[in-house]
Amino acid sequence: MSPEGKKLLNIIILGFGFMFMFTAFQTCGNIEQTVIKSFNSTEFHGSGYTSMAIIYGVFSASNLIAPSVVAVIGPQLSMFFSGLLYSLYIAMFIYPYTWSFYTASVLVGIAAAVLWTAQGNVLTINSTDSTIGRNSGIFWALLQFSLFFGNLYIYCAWHGHVHITDKDRRTVFISLTVISLVGCFLFFLLRKPDSECSSSAEATEPLLQEEPCNNTATSSGCSHLCSQALDAFVKACKLFITREMLLLGVSIGYTGLELTFYSGVYGTCIGAMMRFGQDAKSLIGISGICIGVGEILGGSVFGILNKRIGFGRNPIVLLGLVTHIIAFYLIFLNIASDAPLAPEEGTDLEAFITPSVGVALFCSFLLGLGDSCFNTQLLSIIGFMFHDNSAPAFAVFKFIQSIMAALAFYYSNYLLLHWQLLILVVVGFLGTITFFKVEHMASSSRRQSDYDSI
């Protein structure tokens, strides 16, 4: 296989690994608040929103050490062990206890930082300036198939259920745990890409380090590993205060806020709308599928076909903002303001129009499409501008995103829907403006390096 073909295969394997893992985890996050409300136990007192706030809070803090972990054990093992902790979190719902729920939340927050830093590292070392846009789109599209498959399963399993029984819960979460574990083991299929200085390397050599030409790591002992870890940490801190990253931080922060909204809050809102009928719970699954369709469409069109359509990043990010604003306005009209805070019985209130299932699902599609517009372009611009420091750069990316997601999950316990939508609109607008500024900087660099704009 040619070096370029091997790199593309690694990207596809990476995408499938994440697809399996997040078929389980994103489905879990989408339904957990609804599931928790239906527990037939007085011993469990957890909150899905609080759990997600803990996950993303720990996630943000752990991004400071994640580059060091990836530097020491390599991206492949980093993703595998992180995936095991994701599977542990999902399995906890089979027999849930409050202490295990929040303990697993902390552990998966640490795992998430390492996982996504390693993912950015693998994406970058298997890409060039001319393929980073294509590879970002391929990865994003495969990842977002997780929303389709996981939520389709939820729809089929819960169709017609007004209340989620213990048996329903256990069946779903056992299945999701197995699916997550399959994704973990797929990471062992990743192989080190060929490079100019290692063209004779064996084709089956595992992908363990970012620098394939460095043969001294195994012989320089613990002092070298410690130095490597410290160097990764220092690079992450320095990158965080660069002008480009500070500007991108607003855009990245917005993706954290809207991640919280589409992956947790909006599904809960739909499930709480009594006026959607007895199938409101199963509509959570259909909503997730519609989000997935939007994500896959965006990842495909703006990533895989980027060379054919020849657009720059700015129009795609602007499209993302417009689709989100349309979605937020329709949600404001269609969903009752107290839906995020409603009890298991749901809310009987109306918003400004008669609640429509069709409008709610169309908004789900728009949320997914807009999210893919922002994320594919952020992955692309970070991979281009920080190619030589990919692991620290993606750690900073996830640090900012996760701390904003944690903040959003926290205020979702208290704020009515219209206030949450207002926050999203304001931050989304500011994030688009700052992205335009960084894209202008990237365009200047691109003219000097023959970079093909995505």
pLDDT at 450: 47
Element (H, E) at 384: helix 357-385
User: Phi/psi at 105 (nearest 5 deg)?
Assistant: -60, -45
Q: How far apart are CA 352 and CA 350, in angstroms?
A: 7
Tell me, yes or no, whether 135 and 272 share the same domain. Answer: no
Token reading at 148: 């389709």
| Position with higher pLDDT, 227 vs 364 | 364
pLDDT in tens, 105-122: 999 999 998 998 899 889
Q: What mean pLDDT is predicted for residues 235-253?
A: 86
Q: How far apart are CA 334 and CA 237, in angstroms?
A: 44
Q: pTM of the entire structure?
A: 0.73
What are the CA-CA distances from residue 317 to residues 294, 326, 373 (Å)?
15, 14, 6
Residue-range definition of the domain harbouring residue 303: 243-447
Does the residue 454 lie in any domain? no
Using only C-alpha atoms, the chain has a radius of gyration, in whole angstroms, of 21
Tell me, yes or no, whether 265 and 348 share the same domain. Answer: yes
Residue with token string 């991004």 = 63
Does the residue 18 lie in any domain? yes
Q: Which of 35, 68, 75, 38 is nearest to 51 (CA)?
A: 35
Residue with token string 């994704």 = 183
- pLDDT exceeds cutoff 70 at 282: no
pLDDT at 423: 96
In whole numbers, what is the pLDDT of the chain averaged over residues? 80
- Maximum mean pLDDT: which of 84-93, 332-341, 437-446: 84-93
Give the domain-ending residue among 155, 190, 225. Answer: 190
Does residue 206 sit in helix, strand or coil?
strand
Q: How far apart are CA 251 and CA 222, in angstroms?
A: 38
Does the residue 386 lie in any domain? yes
CATH of the domain at 277: 1.20.1250.20
Tell me, yes or no, whether 173 and 90 share the same domain. Answer: yes
Tell me, yes or no, whether 268 and 182 share the same domain. Answer: no
Give the domain-ending residue among 162, 190, 218. Answer: 190
User: Phi/psi at 191 (nearest 5 deg)?
Assistant: -125, 150
Question: In which band, very low, low, confident or very high, does the pLDDT at 278 lie, cut at 50, 70 and 90?
Answer: low
Q: What mean pLDDT is predicted for residues 257-277?
A: 78
Q: How far apart are CA 83 and CA 189, in angstroms?
A: 15
Residues 6+ apart with CB under 8 A from 220: none
Does the residue 237 lie in any domain? no
Task: Tally helices (H) and strands (E) across the chain.
Answer: 16, 0
Q: How far apart are CA 98 and CA 363, in angstroms?
A: 34
pLDDT in tens, 188-220: 998 887 654 443 333 334 454 444 444 444 444
User: Phi/psi at 206 (nearest 5 deg)?
Assistant: -65, 150
What are the CA-CA distances from residue 407 to residues 30, 201, 386, 413 (Å)?
17, 46, 27, 11
- Maximum mean pLDDT: which of 208-217, 310-319, 385-394, 428-437: 428-437
Total domain count for the chain?
A: 2
- pLDDT exceeds cutoff 70 at 308: no
Does the residue 452 lie in any domain? no
